[in-house]
């Protein structure tokens, strides 16, 4: 539980780093936008209802299309993009610390542990019944496919502009968006910045909620977005502390934003196998799940994911020791 809180706190810091980076592109100081974003996120959850918050989150999800449009405006070599996606990486890649580090981070940011806890809590909060289970599952599957598509377009946009011109020394998320401006045009630059702001503010809202749900449900405290502050004090105080401390870290001068964001996602990837194994134990318990236990196919997919992520973590450690 402590490891989950620490990991998620790092993720909260990373999301506020994304908020700061995106609006610094337009000359807005992080010392203004980070406190303002923290206040907006806090008020949204503490003063809103679950239904209103869900509608806002759903609307925010639509803005992820900005990344897809930015990818199209980058005019990539589509044949090279598709071939590069399905081709096996060089055998030497797994011995490269930087390559494995980024690969773990890519998985960690796409299938983050906190997402699993938030998903479970949201299903309970919405009162999903066994009859609605199939529809809810498809909701999750389609959401995952859309997230993977967005991630692919982000990679394509950066590969078509930054990588092909040798601009790999990115010290800040805003550096990436700025570099898109002369290469892919003003609109791609603006869309990338808008997508970064939306994604960061969106996750900065959900991450503390997910952590508060996991801790309170695990320790038996009241939780829920439809409860008042006095009805679930531990839930809301933990949520508040994560936001205040997470935003506070970003106000430290010369904080390396890219490093904070990258390391937090790698930690996600390292922690992910432990969360997946816990989920497997629960979803294969017939006394708990009844006829809804995991199918063999789902079990195989999850176990393969666990083995791959553990192997990548070991490969990263070995590569680090060789450096």
Residue-wise pLDDT for 234-250, tens only, equals 999 999 999 999 899 88
- Residue 75's CATH number: 1.20.1740.10
pLDDT confidence of residue 197: 84
pLDDT score recorded for residue 300: 94
Instruction: Give the pLDDT score at 243.
Output: 93
Q: How many CA atoms are closer than 13 Å to the CA of 291, on its beta-carbon side?
A: 4
What is this structure's pTM?
0.79
Residue ranges for the chain with pLDDT beneath 70 = 165, 167-168, 171-189
**What local confidence, expressed as pLDDT, does residue 7 receive?**
78
Strand intervals (E) in 124-245? none
Q: In whole angstroms, give the CA distance from residue 107 to residue 248.
A: 27
Structure tokens at 295: 């199918």
Would you state the structure tokens that stand for residue 239, as one six-digit string?
A: 């949520």
Residue pLDDT, tens place only, 17-59? 888 878 877 778 889 999 999 998 898 888 877 777 778 877 8
Measured CA to CA, the distance from residue 169 to residue 161 in angstroms comes to 13
**CA atoms of 205 and 15, how far apart (whole Å):** 9
The span from the CA of 28 to the CA of 19, in Å, is 11
Number of helical H runs and strand E runs in the chain: 14, 0
Is residue 316 classed as helix, strand or coil in its secondary structure? helix
The structural domain count of the chain equals 1
Instruction: Output the pLDDT for position 178.
Output: 62
- Which residue range(s) make up the domain with 191? 2-322
The answer to whether the beta carbons of residues 242 and 208 sit under 8 Å apart is yes
């Amino acid at each position: 539980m402590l490891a989950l809180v620490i990991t998620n706190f790092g993720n909260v810091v990373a999301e506020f780093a994304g908020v700061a980076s995106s609006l610094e592109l337009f000359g807005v100081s992080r010392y203004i936008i980070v406190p303002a974003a923290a206040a907006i996120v806090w008020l949204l959850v503490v003063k809103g209802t679950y239904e209103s918050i869900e509608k806002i989150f759903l609307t925010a999800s639509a803005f992820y299309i900005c990344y897809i449009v930015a990818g199209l405006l980058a005019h990539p070599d589509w044949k090279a993009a598709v071939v590069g996606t399905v081709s096996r990486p060089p055998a030497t890649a797994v011995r490269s610390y930087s390559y494995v580090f980024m690969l773990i981070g890519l998985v960690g940011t796409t299938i983050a542990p906190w997402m699993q806890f938030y998903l479970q809590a949201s299903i309970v909060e919405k009162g999903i019944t066994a009859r609605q289970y199939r529809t809810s599952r498809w909701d999750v599957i389609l959401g995952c496919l859309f997230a993977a598509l967005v991630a692919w377009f982000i990679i394509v946009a950066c590969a078509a502009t930054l990588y092909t011109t040798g601009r790999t020394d990115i010290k800040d998320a805003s550096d990436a968006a700025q570099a898109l401006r002369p290469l892919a045009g003003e609109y791609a630059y603006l869309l990338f910045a808008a997508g970064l702001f939306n994604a960061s503010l969106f996750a900065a809202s959900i991450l503390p909620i997910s952590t508060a749900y996991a801790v309170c449900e695990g320790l038996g405290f009241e939780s829920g977005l439809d409860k008042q502050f006095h009805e679930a004090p531990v839930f809301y105080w933990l949520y508040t502390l994560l936001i205040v401390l997470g935003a506070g870290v970003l106000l430290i001068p010369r904080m390396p934003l890219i490093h904070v964001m990258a390391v937090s996602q790698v930690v996600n990837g390292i922690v992910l196998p432990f969360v997946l194994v816990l989920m497997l134990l629960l979803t294969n318990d017939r006394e708990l799940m009844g006829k809804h236990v995991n199918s063999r196919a789902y079990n195989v997919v999850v176990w393969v994911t666990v083995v791959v992520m553990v192997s990548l973590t070991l490969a990263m450690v070995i590569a680090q020791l060789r450096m």
